[in-house]
Amino acid sequence: MCKAAERSAVSFKHNIGVVLKRTLLGKTNLPQQCTVGISDPQREVSVWLHGIGAPRDVTFEHSIACASPFTICIGGSDWQLRDAGKGPTLEFREHDGEGRLLAELGLRHSATMLTDGPALHLFQVDRCRNDCLSAGRLWAHYLHHAYLRRRSTSHIRLSTRAAQAMTASFICPRRVVLVSAVWGERSNMFPMNLLGSLSDDYFAFSLDSTRLAAPLVAGAGTVALSGIPVGRAEVAQQLGKNHKKESIAWSELPFATTPSTALGIPVPYFASRVIELQLETTRNLGSHTLFISRVVRDERRAAGEQFFMVHGIYQSWRLTHGYDYGGSVSNVSTISRI
């Protein structure tokens, strides 16, 4: 077959794929990863833990700890895990309005980590329910996601359950920050979206265990997390390549930096919020390493809409239900890349 014929065949297959995708997904044909501008802290979605004593609002007491196996970390020292019964659940609900149930994860307790502050509980997911779309449209998305995972060159291989749990977890808008770390003569700054507060004084974040950024952060012992105005989202995403670098020069950055207030770590001059952290412990959970840290200083520098990410399935729900905050849709195909 001549090259012209080969190109024609490839183009034909591509066009057929585009038509099928549009037919199956309809108006919900959005990227898996969507950038939205939301005030920090977000008040769109509440996250509730059920099945361990009274229902507990853990919206600001949980973090995605690992992608594979998919693991959630939740802070809580006053729990009686023996009361968990058949297994706790994590509910994602509309914060206002009718408080509609958007998704539910069935949890299985896997470990408890003790800190100088709260006890931290790790849960893996054994089932997933998503109510953002009709069953037929939802499974069309799941089939499309499975197709993309088979073609993906990513070294992180998600199981079907883990992929569905990640989709549900990003119904809760996840803020994106720029992480700054300095270890001797080495330094780096890169974006991250697997993070969350566990209590007033403790914070968790997770980094790809195979990337060079993780050992740098572990060696540094302290980091600064910078909130990003949504208008700076694109420039922040461009620093994703720094996950694979041992070190960068601050002069390489496409913007100026200023020292953080308590630790003197360089942060973007446009940072709207700077959280300075002292690392307390780490745990390799699989695809990601979980970093548990104590908050040294949390400084809010500016208001306005911040850079958050949601899954395209939830973005479809947002647009249908009037959450038209002017969020833009990114062209990144998988959430776990940041």
Q: Is the peptide bond before 268 cis (omega within 30 degrees of 0)?
A: no
- Best CATH choice for the domain 174-307 from the list 3.30.60.50, 3.60.20.10, 2.40.70.10, 2.30.110.10: 2.30.110.10
Check: CB of residue 179 under 8 Å from CB of residue 217.
Answer: yes
**Would you state the CATH architecture of domain 45-172?**
Roll (2.30)
pLDDT computed for residue 84 by the predictor: 54
Q: Give the pLDDT confidence of 225-284 residue by residue, as tens digits.
A: 999 999 999 999 999 999 999 999 999 999 999 999 999 999 999 999 999 999 999 999
What is residue 185's three-state secondary structure?
coil
Radius of gyration, alpha carbons of the chain: 20
* Paired tokens of 31: 């990227």
pLDDT computed for residue 306 by the predictor: 98
pLDDT computed for residue 97 by the predictor: 83
Check: CB of residue 74 under 8 Å from CB of residue 91.
Answer: no
Low-confidence stretches of the chain (pLDDT < 50) are 5, 7-10, 12-17, 19, 325-338
pLDDT computed for residue 19 by the predictor: 46
Beta-strand runs (E) in 132-176: 174-175
pLDDT computed for residue 18 by the predictor: 52
* Paired tokens of 122: 């790790």
pLDDT computed for residue 53 by the predictor: 86
Query: Model-level pTM?
Result: 0.88
The Cα 271–Cα 36 span in angstroms is 17
The Cα 174–Cα 309 span in angstroms is 5
Per-domain residue ranges of the chain: 45-172, 174-307
pLDDT computed for residue 327 by the predictor: 42
